[in-house]
Amino acid sequence: MFKKRKTNPVAVAVALGATLMAGCTSATTSVVKSESSSAHMMVASMESGTLVAASRVSGGQGVNNPPLAALGPVPIPPDNPNTPAKVELGKMLFFEPAVGGDTSTPCSACHEPDQGWAWAEDISRGYPGTVHWRNSQTTVNSAYYPRLFWAGSVPSLEAQAKSAAGGAVAGNAEFDIVEARLALMPEYRKRFNEVFGDEFPLYRNAFRAIAAFERADLVQRDAPIDNYFNGDKDALSEEQKRGMALFNGKANCIECHNGAMATDFDYYNIGVPTLPRWDEDGLAQITYRYEMYAKGSNEEMYKNYKEDPGFYFRDKNVWNKGKFRVPSLRYTMYTAPYMHNGTLMTLEDVVDFYNQGGGNNVFSANKSDLIKPLGLSDEEKEDLVAFLEAFSGDEIEIERPKMPGYAPLFTKAELMMEKK
């Protein structure tokens, strides 16, 4: 920690600010924080080899926030090592329509490269005949999250991909039809065999390959902020440097958006207003009820709620209603709109939102005490927005892979010879 302070003096002010804030952190939040801290440390230690994360203290004594930092190497789980062949297979599968229920929803349908590897509407487009109920998050740098989805419901990229492929308002596919389709594409038979030794492609291995692709190709470590922390002090403009001081100081963004990923991977209610689309769109109303029903609500909630309870569905504790995972700020220049329900259209809107002390929703009893009016001037807000843009480098573009086609498994002659 001290080493970091030396290289980044701003962090000193942050640490002081954090100490002052500590008393505001509720006991319930601390419980959640400690749950995610081990994964957090793993990421942090891999990125820099320092004990940055270990200095974090939970339990209301005081919170020293890990400073912003350059993004380190991507964490790769030992049970799914990356190989070039696996990455290439994963890239194909990311764009492969056959992994969707009716072959129209590859991963890229909702994580569209030209829309920030996300979907540029408030809520994700969803499976045909449906719409989703939350904003589609970018897959860029998703490999650094210890848990995935807005409420952190799954522990790995592999699990995230599988869950998204199967959801009724997402991919709506089941393993049997997908394995059948992949078996009928000679290119996949060959590649799954080479990469995983599968005689016929296995569903679970498809998601291992997709995760490998995301870890290899959907990672950005050369955003201006990375270059800055890697020693190029000119990587940030003067405006951005002023913005960073605000980020770490007066605006106190660092309280939650800290570390190399600019997130503490924790869950908060910041009072994001409910989705206006639910008032106006029958399809969205259907999905809202479906999600409330499918995720397990009591009768009272199913009947009367008009809001996404978020993290509540993880543990069914009332104090977690309306909490969502702090998203990374990386690549956000390309991922508008913002928040779990996409209700804020621009980064300016986001800064305005925090400047006024967040918003209100029906779960505001759980709203974090960290969110309070900031009193930023127009110029300060501009500086802050400029700094937020430093978390995004060039747009990640890849050449879309050529999609393999179906071919019969048997020839007519082989079928005719089959003994009946």
414 binds other proteins, rule: CB under 8 A: yes
C-beta closer to other proteins: residue 302 or 398 = 302
* C-alpha dist (Å) from residue 228 to 2, 69, 119, 142, 238: 19, 9, 29, 22, 12
130 binds other proteins (CB under 8 A): yes
**By the rule CB under 8 A, 129 interacts with other proteins:** yes
**Gap between the Cα atoms of 234 and 218, Å rounded:** 26
- Which residue, 126 or 393, is less far from other proteins as judged by CB? 126
* Interface segment toward other proteins; rule CB under 8 A; list 5-13, 123-131, 147-155, 394-402: 123-131
x/- track of binding to other proteins for residues 270-309 (CB under 8 A): --------xxxxxx-xxxxxx-xxx-----xxxxxxx---
- Nearest distance from residue 324's CB to other proteins, in Å? 19
Pick between residue 23 and residue 408 the one whose CB is nearest to other proteins.
408
Q: 3-class SS at 60?
A: coil
Q: Which of residues 258 and 343 has its CB atom nearest to other proteins in the complex?
A: 343
* Dihedral sign from CA coordinates of 260, 266, 269, 274: positive
Least distance to other proteins, CB of residue 104, Å: 7
Chain centre to alpha carbon of residue 238: 30
Under 8 Å CB-to-CB from 305, ≥6 apart: which residues? Answer: 292, 297, 362
Strand partners, 323: 310
C-beta of residue 392 within 8 angstroms of C-beta of residue 223? yes
Tell the smallest beta-carbon distance from residue 108 to other proteins (Å).
Answer: 17
Asked if 385 and 354 touch (Cβ cutoff 8 Å), the reply is no
Per-residue x/- mask for other proteins, residues 342 to 371, rule CB under 8 A?
A: --------------------x---------
C-alpha–C-alpha distance, residues 119 and 135, integer Å? 7
How many chain residues touch other proteins (CB under 8 A)?
60
Nearer to other proteins, 127 or 213 (CB): 127
Q: Which is nearer to other proteins, 310 or 393 (CB)?
A: 310
Measure the CA–CA gap between 288 and 305, rounded to whole angstroms: 10
Where in 163-192 is the site for other proteins (CB under 8 A)?
Answer: 168-169, 172-177, 179-181, 183-184
Which one, 79 or 300, has the nearer CB to other proteins? Answer: 300
> For residues 288 and 338, which CB has a smaller minimum distance to other proteins in the complex?
288
Q: Which residue from 296, 141, 272, 288 is spatially nearest to 219, judged by alpha carbons?
A: 141
Q: Is 100 in the site for other proteins (CB under 8 A)?
A: yes
Angstrom distance (rounded) from CA 39 to CA 241: 30
| Residue 367: strand, helix, or coil | strand
Write down the least CB distance from residue 2 to other proteins, Å: 47
418 binds other proteins (CB under 8 A): yes
Looking at beta carbons only, is 202 or 386 nearer to other proteins?
202
User: Per CB under 8 A, which of residues 199..238 are in contact with other proteins?
Assistant: 199-200
CA pair distance 266, 43, nearest whole angstrom = 14
Alpha helices in 356-411 (DSSP H): 378-389
Q: What is the DSSP letter of 134?
A: S
Smallest gap from residue 128 Cβ to other proteins (A): 4
- Pick 81 or 406: Cβ nearer other proteins: 406
| Residue 407 makes contact with other proteins by CB under 8 A | yes
What distances in angstroms separate CA 248 from CA 37, 74, 216, 233, 309, one per listed residue?
Answer: 21, 25, 31, 17, 30
Exposed / middle / buried, residue 77 (Cβ in 10 Å: 0-12, 13-18, 19+): middle
Instruction: Please tell me whether residue 402 binds other proteins under the rule CB under 8 A.
Output: no
Please give the residue ranges that form the binding site for other proteins (CB under 8 A): 98, 100-104, 127-130, 168-169, 172-177, 179-181, 183-184, 199-200, 278-283, 285-290, 292-294, 300-306, 362, 406-410, 412, 414-416, 418-420
